[in-house]
Amino acid sequence: MSILVFAEHDNNSLKADTLKTVAAAQAIGGDIHILVAGSNCQSVAEAAAKINGVSKVLVADNAVYEHQLAENVSLLVTELAGDYEHILATALTTGKNFMPRVAALLDVTQISDIIGVESSDTFIRPIYAGNAIATVQSLDSKKVITVRTTGFDAVVTDGSAEVVALDTVTDAGNSSHVSDELTVSERPELGAASVIISGGRGMQNGDNFKLLDGIADKLGAAIGASRAAVDAGFVPNDMQVGQTGKIVAPDLYIAVGISGAIQHLAGMKDSKVIVAINKDPEAPIFQVADYGIVADLFDALPELESKL
C-alpha cells in the first residue's frame, strides 16, 4: 500500500505544514512518497528528501507547475494516482484548490480536512464549523484526502529519501497566472506561530493594529484578525482566522476586540491557552477563554506591552 503526499512550497522552501501531512500519512500506514510539483524547485526536493518516513521524492520541475495552477497540477497527480491507494495534500489554499479536481478525475469523493485517522479508510473531520466531529468511512477504492494541520504533529527531518525526476508535463492550456499580491511580513506565519494575537472589529481601524505590533514583537507572535476586521479593510484577507479562513492552534491565542462568533471560534478554539480582551463581559469569547479581561483594549494593550 502506497501513499502520495503533495508537498506545499513556494518553489524555494518546503512549507513546514507538509511535515504534518506526512504525519497523517504515517498514521494511515504505508510506503510514503512525496510529490514536489513546481518550477526550479530543486531546493524543495532536497528538503522533502529529509522528511522522516518518506521513501521517495518525485519531482515534477517544469514551468507549467510554477504557480501550481489547479488545472495542470490535478492532471499530473491523476496521472500518478495509479500507483497509490491514498493521495494526501495539506488543507491550505493550494491543496483545497486542486485536490477535489483530482478526486473527480478519479471518480471518487474527497475526504476534506481530516484531523484524525481511525484506520486506512476511516477518518475524523470537523463539520458545522467544528460544532460536530464526524467519523467518516470512505467507500471509494482510492482515498483523496486533505489534512488539517492542527490535527497532527510534524514529523522530524532526519531522513534521506531517493529523489526521482519526473518528465511528465501536463498542461491543460485553459488557465494562466496573471499576478500575485502577497503580503510581506517579518513575522511568523499564522500556521507556524506558537503565539498569535488577533484583532477584531473592536480595533476600529487598520492603524490601531499597530497596538498589537509591540506585543507581537515581544512574544514572537503572528498577527491575525476576525472576518469583520478583514471585511472592513483594516488588514488583508490572509490574516483571517476562522471557519472559512485559517485554522490555527497555537500555544497562546490572544483575541482582542473579537466577540467570539461561531465562525471565528472554529478557527482557534483548539489553541492551548486562550486569552480574551473585550470590554463586553457578555461577549461569547469569554466562554472559551482560559483568561479573560474585561477592559477597553486601548488601555489594556499599551499596559500589556509594557509589562511583558
Partner 1 sequence: MKVLVPIKRVIDFNVKVRVKSDNSNVDLANVKMAINPFCEIAVEEAIRLKEAGIATEVIAVSIGTKACQEQLRTALALGADRAIQIQTDLELDSINIAKLLQKVVEEEQPKLVILGKQAIDSDNNQTGQMLAALTNMPQGTFASIVKVDGDKVNVTREVDGGLQTVALSLPAIVTTDLRLNEPRYASLPNIMKAKRKPLDVKNAEDFGIDLTPRTKTLKVTPPAERKAGIIVESIDELVEKLKNEAKVIS
Ligand X SMILES: Cc1cc2nc3c(=O)[nH]c(=O)nc-3n(C[C@H](O)[C@H](O)[C@H](O)COP(=O)(O)OP(=O)(O)OC[C@H]3O[C@@H](n4cnc5c(N)ncnc54)[C@H](O)[C@@H]3O)c2cc1C
Does the CA dihedral 108-82-19-156 come out positive or negative? positive
Binders of partner 1 in range 198-217 (CB under 8 A): none
Residue 172 binding target from partner 1, ligand X, none, CB below 5 to 8 Å by type: partner 1
Q: Which residues contact 6 (CB under 8 A, 6 or more apart)?
A: 21, 34, 35, 37, 77, 87, 88, 89, 90, 95, 99
132 binds partner 1 (CB under 8 A): yes
181 binds partner 1 (CB under 8 A): yes
**Which backbone phi and psi does 270 adopt, to 5 degrees?**
-95, 10
* H or E element, residue 162: strand 162-165
Closest to partner 1 by CB, 158 or 180: 180
Residue 228 binding target from partner 1, ligand X, none, CB below 5 to 8 Å by type: ligand X
Instruction: Please report, as a single letter, which amino acid is at residue 175.
Output: S
160 binds partner 1 (CB under 8 A): no
- Judge contact between 111 and 30, C-beta under 8 A: no
Instruction: Please report, as a single letter, which amino acid is at residue 242.
Output: G
165 binds partner 1 (CB under 8 A): no
272 binds partner 1 (CB under 8 A): yes
Q: Which residues bind ligand X (CB under 6 A)?
A: 200-202, 226-229, 240-245, 257-259, 261, 263-264, 267, 278-280, 283, 296-298
Residue 248 binding target from ligand X, partner 1, none, CB below 5 to 8 Å by type: none
Cell matching residue 135: 467519523
Angle, CA of 195, 249 and 119, to the nearest 5°: 150
Distance from C-alpha of 40 to C-alpha of 75, rounded to nearest angstrom: 20
Cell matching residue 189: 506565519
Q: Report the residue from 44, 92, 203, 216 that binds partner 1 according to the rule CB under 8 A.
A: 92
CB atoms inside a 10 Å sphere around CB 141: 10
Q: Which residues contact 296 (CB under 8 A, 6 or more apart)?
A: 279
Binding mask 107-126 for partner 1 (x = CB under 8 A): xxxxxxx--------x---x
Stretch that binds partner 1, among 18-26, 33-41, 96-104, 150-158 (CB under 8 A): 96-104
Closest to ligand X by CB, 10 or 296: 296
282 binds partner 1 (CB under 8 A): no
CB of 164 to partner 1, least distance (A): 26
Residue 267 binding target from ligand X, partner 1, none, CB below 5 to 8 Å by type: ligand X
32 binds partner 1 (CB under 8 A): no
Residue 36 binding target from ligand X, partner 1, none, CB below 5 to 8 Å by type: none
Q: Residue 235 in 3-state DSSP?
A: coil
- Judge contact between 180 and 74, C-beta under 8 A: no
Binding mask 214-243 for partner 1 (x = CB under 8 A): -----x-------x--xx----xxx----x
